[in-house]
């Protein structure tokens, strides 16, 4: 007799981590939007002092970190809920706001965990196609809201296309959203966003009672391996997020690393500026070669390769660039080290020239 299992899981794909080159292979892993820099010495030195306490459970209330975040963001600590990366907090948001069969609305293609998390919660994903520029179609998203809609994700900048939504468009969208629906502005890549008219999540949180904002320490702060992120939400929503969170899911090491990173943001900003400069230089090189590439406000670029995606991805791997390919749609390439970035443009140009009939 086989063990009873949840039948609906057979239709849910498992999340796939970005591909990694084999050991000893001369290649650059640019598939996971990781920060290419090693952690700050000041952060690792501070973490070393925490190692002697890992036999103890962390303080789940995280008072030091929440106090710093609340002060910086102009909110109360009760408005902040932590999790093991912003993806886990996104799951908390879905569990906290939906009943089985309720709808979670988001653009597509966007962060690939959204539909997985929605299915796991027993809710129904509603995926609204991006516009022809790879950006959120907020007009179509507003029209897709039904009486069953409980939650909306706006990924800004969008993963994987790097596009942003502007303030006026989000204001117009919010005017059409019922007050019972929570709108989550996912800003995992906000530190790389230098667009002057981009919507800013905290501005909307302060102006609308049904807005939450997602942030992470994985990208700009380089703490992907420690798993820590947070939501800023109405206090009653944040309280429910804490109910759905994994107990002790945010370790003492993660909390301390986040505090230390916030204390050394000046050093981190220098690295962020370097990655933005590298991104703009790469986009310029590709455009100079006649490649039509979308503007990106994240730490990656997007190639709309359509049906040629897997062919182009294979060519990139052969040239030492391991990116993230989404079959039938396109390829996301993270901005990496200076050595990696020096290789990307030539590899992309060569790969696309080998597939001229499709790209």
**pLDDT of 200:** 98
Which tokens go with 28?
A: 């650059």
Question: What local confidence, expressed as pLDDT, does residue 14 receive?
Answer: 77
With CA atoms as reference, report the closest residue to 208 among 255, 230, 242, 176: 176
Q: What is the pLDDT of residue 1?
A: 61
DSSP classification of residue 198: B
Give the E-state strand segments of the chain in sequence order: 28-29, 80-83, 103-108, 124-129, 149-155, 182-186, 211-216, 229-232, 300-303, 321-322, 324-326, 330-334
Residues 99, 17, 255, 236: what is their CA dihedral angle, to the nearest 10 degrees? Answer: -10
- Number of folded domains that form the chain: 2
Is the CA virtual torsion 333, 111, 36, 191 positive or negative?
Answer: positive
Q: Tell me, what's the pLDDT at 44?
A: 94
Position 359 in a domain: no
- State the pLDDT at residue 187: 98
For 157, counting Cβ atoms within 10 Å of its Cβ (0-12 exposed, 13-18 middle, 19+ buried), the class is buried
Residue 30: band (very low, low, confident or very high) from pLDDT cuts 50, 70, 90: very high
Look at residues 205, 240, 263 and tell me which one is the last residue of a structural domain. 263
The answer to whether 138 and 173 have CB atoms below 8 angstroms apart is yes
pLDDT at 15: 77
| Res 88 pLDDT > 80 | yes
Write down the pLDDT at residue 3.
Answer: 84
One domain, residues 329 and 231: no
Mean pLDDT of the chain: 94
pLDDT at site 130: 98
Tell me 52's DSSP state.
G
| Rounded average pLDDT over 100-129 | 97
**Is residue 81 over pLDDT 60?**
yes
Give the model's pLDDT for residue 355: 66
83: β partners: 229
Same domain, 117 and 259: yes
Give the model's confidence band at 16: pLDDT under 50 very low, under 70 low, under 90 confident, else very high: confident
Q: Please compute the mean of the pLDDT values over residues 325-330 and round it to a whole number.
A: 96
Residue 330, both tokens: 């396109």
What CATH number corresponds to the domain at position 275?
3.90.1150.10
State residue 358's pLDDT score: 44
Q: What pLDDT, on the 0 to 100 scale, is given for residue 11?
A: 76
Q: Does one domain contain both 141 and 196?
A: yes
pLDDT, position 10:
78
- Are 164 and 279 part of one and the same domain? no
Task: Find the domain containing 187 and state its range.
Answer: 52-263
The tens digit of pLDDT for each residue in 294-316 reads: 999 999 999 999 999 999 999 99
Q: What is the CATH number of the domain that holds 239?
A: 3.40.640.10
pLDDT tens digits, one per residue of 340-355: 999 999 999 999 987 6
In this structure, is residue 115 part of a structural domain? Answer: yes
* Cis peptide bond N-terminal to 157, omega within 30: yes
For 52, counting Cβ atoms within 10 Å of its Cβ (0-12 exposed, 13-18 middle, 19+ buried), the class is exposed
End position of a domain, from candidates 246, 263, 280: 263
pTM above 0.85, yes or no: yes
| Helix, strand, coil content of the chain in percent (nearest 5) | 40, 15, 45
User: Residue 140 — φ and ψ, nearest 5°?
Assistant: -65, -35
Of the candidates 143, 135, 151, 92, the residue with the CA atom closest to the CA atom of residue 117 = 92
Q: Is 32 exposed, middle or buried (0-12, 13-18, 19+ CB in 10 A)?
A: middle
Instruction: Tell me the average pLDDT across 259-270.
Output: 96
Same domain, 240 and 293: no
């Amino acid at each position: 007799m086989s063990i009873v299992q949840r039948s609906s899981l057979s239709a849910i794909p498992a999340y796939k981590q970005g591909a990694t080159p084999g050991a000893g292979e001369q290649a650059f892993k640019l598939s996971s939007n990781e920060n290419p820099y090693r952690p700050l010495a000041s952060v690792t030195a501070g973490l070393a002092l925490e190692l002697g306490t890992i036999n103890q459970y962390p303080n789940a209330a995280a008072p030091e970190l929440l106090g710093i975040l609340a002060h910086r963001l102009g909110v109360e600590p009760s408005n902040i809920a932590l999790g093991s990366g912003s993806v886990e907090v996104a799951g908390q948001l879905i569990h906290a706001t939906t009943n089985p069969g309720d709808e979670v609305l988001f653009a597509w293609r966007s962060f690939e965990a959204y539909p997985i998390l929605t299915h796991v919660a027993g809710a129904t994903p509603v995926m609204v196609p991006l516009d022809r520029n790879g950006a959120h179609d907020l007009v179509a998203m507003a029209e897709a809201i039904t009486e069953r809609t409980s939650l909306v994700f706006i990924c800004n900048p969008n993963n994987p296309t790097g596009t942003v939504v502007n303030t006026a468009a989000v204001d117009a969208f919010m005017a059409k959203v019922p007050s019972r629906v929570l709108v989550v502005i996912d800003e995992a890549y906000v530190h790389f966003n230098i667009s002057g008219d981009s919507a800013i999540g905290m501005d909307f949180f302060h102006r609308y009672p049904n807005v939450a904002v997602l942030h992470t320490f994985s990208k700009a702060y380089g703490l992907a391996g420690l798993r820590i992120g947070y939501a800023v939400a109405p206090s009653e929503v944040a309280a429910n997020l804490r109910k759905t969170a994994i107990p002790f899911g945010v370790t003492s090491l993660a909390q301390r690393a986040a505090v230390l990173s916030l204390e050394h943001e000046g050093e981190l900003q220098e690295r962020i500026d370097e990655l933005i400069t590298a991104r703009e230089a790469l986009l310029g090189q590709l455009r100079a070669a006649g490649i039509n590439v979308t503007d990106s406000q994240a730490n990656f670029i997007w190639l709309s390769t359509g049906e040629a995606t897997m062919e182009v991805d294979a060519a990139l791997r052969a040239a030492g660039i391991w990116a993230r390919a989404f079959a039938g749609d396109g390829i996301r390439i993270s901005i990496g080290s200076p050595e990696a970035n020096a290789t990307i443009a030539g590899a992309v140009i060569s790969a696309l020239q080998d597939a001229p009939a499709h790209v």
